[in-house]
Amino acid sequence: MTRFARVMPVYYVEEPAFEGESPAHLVESRLAENLTVLVPHLPANTAYQIAVAQQRKLLTRFLTHRKIDAPVVWFYTAAAMEFARSLTAATIVYDCMDELSAFQGASPAMRQLETRLFQRADVVFTGGQSLYEAKCERHHNVHAFPSAVDVAHFARARTDTEDPGDQCAISHPRLGFFGVIDERFDRDLVARVAQLRPDWQLIMLGPVVKIDPDILPKAPNIHYLGRKSYDELPAYIAGWDLAIMPFAINEATRFISPTKTPEYLAAGKPIVSTPIVDVVRGWGNLEAVRIADTPANFVSEAEIALSLPKRDPDWLKPVDARLAQVSWDRTWARMAELTTAALAHHQTEQNAPNIAS
């Protein structure tokens, strides 16, 4: 969105905040030139259908006030169809990043809403190859965009030597993870790896969402350091010896294409992952990306990955060659091209004469 904001105004509508008793209102936060985040604030305990109606009213009022008649409407989730489906749009993009209907706590209506969105969308993007294969027959204009990476941002970890305060006292070797800790996190795997190698330190960065923190594995060598900002991540990763992706293999992970794969590699860290389909197919050919399906295999693959920098001083060369192909600039340029084409096609259809047979 920051790249789109270089050429046009972008308004990013987030999920509503339910708090207090103040009347429904929209809070605007300008993050950068042409990039504004809009957060609907609704009274606490607002019923679902009333909340939908209030969001629809707030968004319509905002667009009217800004004299925005027919925007490009970009959906990241089909759930937004509840309040945005009545908008007049120049074109509609569905950027499908995950199979959200498979996530814990997903609304039973999500699949129906997605069907409606497919009917309305002019172009569909998917966040990975597996997701593309699951969606390509549901729409005539679907394109896969596996995870890209801001290489320069994460490459700071290759030279950053100042360890953050809450990490500096943790001994080595360090195996690190960053991301949301939820039902996709393989708790049993992490617990068993920590038990098999008590000398290894497992560092977990990120918020705990949708699961009870009390069910997370606890051990002296497992460290939960909480949520960190995007800007802070390179400094933490710099202090790791290995990056890990201990994803459970379940419905919620069937179609994921973890952005952290290229981010870890850009940071100069080998990876051990469970067998996520898009990781295996997209990155598994690199020696720096190890795949393991059991705790014992995870430990043995981690040992191989930890030894990689000593075994092959040039191990980053094939990594960097692969990363050069997945920049956000390239992804944005292609998305912009496809969106422009969809816009032109939409306008042509709108202007076509309606000839009765």
pLDDT tens track for 254-302: 888 999 999 999 999 999 999 999 999 999 999 999 999 999 999 999 9
What CATH topology corresponds to 4-148+328-351?
Answer: Rossmann fold (3.40.50)
At the second CATH level, the architecture of 151-323 is 3-Layer(aba) Sandwich (3.40)
Q: Where exactly are the structural domains of the chain?
A: 4-148+328-351, 151-323
Task: Please give the full DSSP string across 220-289, using - where no structure is assigned.
Answer: TTEEEEE---GGGHHHHHHT-SEEEE-B--SGGGTT---THHHHHHHTT--EEE---HHHHHHHTTSTTE
Q: How far apart are CA 355 and CA 195, in angstroms?
A: 73
pLDDT in the model for residue 245 = 98
> Fold identical between 4-148+328-351 and 151-323?
yes
pLDDT in the model for residue 117 = 94
pLDDT tens track for 27-73: 999 998 999 999 999 999 999 999 999 999 999 999 999 999 999 99
Residue 218 corresponds to which amino acid? K
Q: Does the pLDDT value for residue 103 go beyond 90?
A: no
Q: What is the mean pLDDT of the chain?
A: 93
pLDDT in the model for residue 105 = 62
If we measure between CA atoms, which residue out of 100, 92, 90, 86 comes closest to residue 52? 86
pTM listed for this prediction:
0.86
- How far the first Cα of the chain sits from its last, in Å, is 44
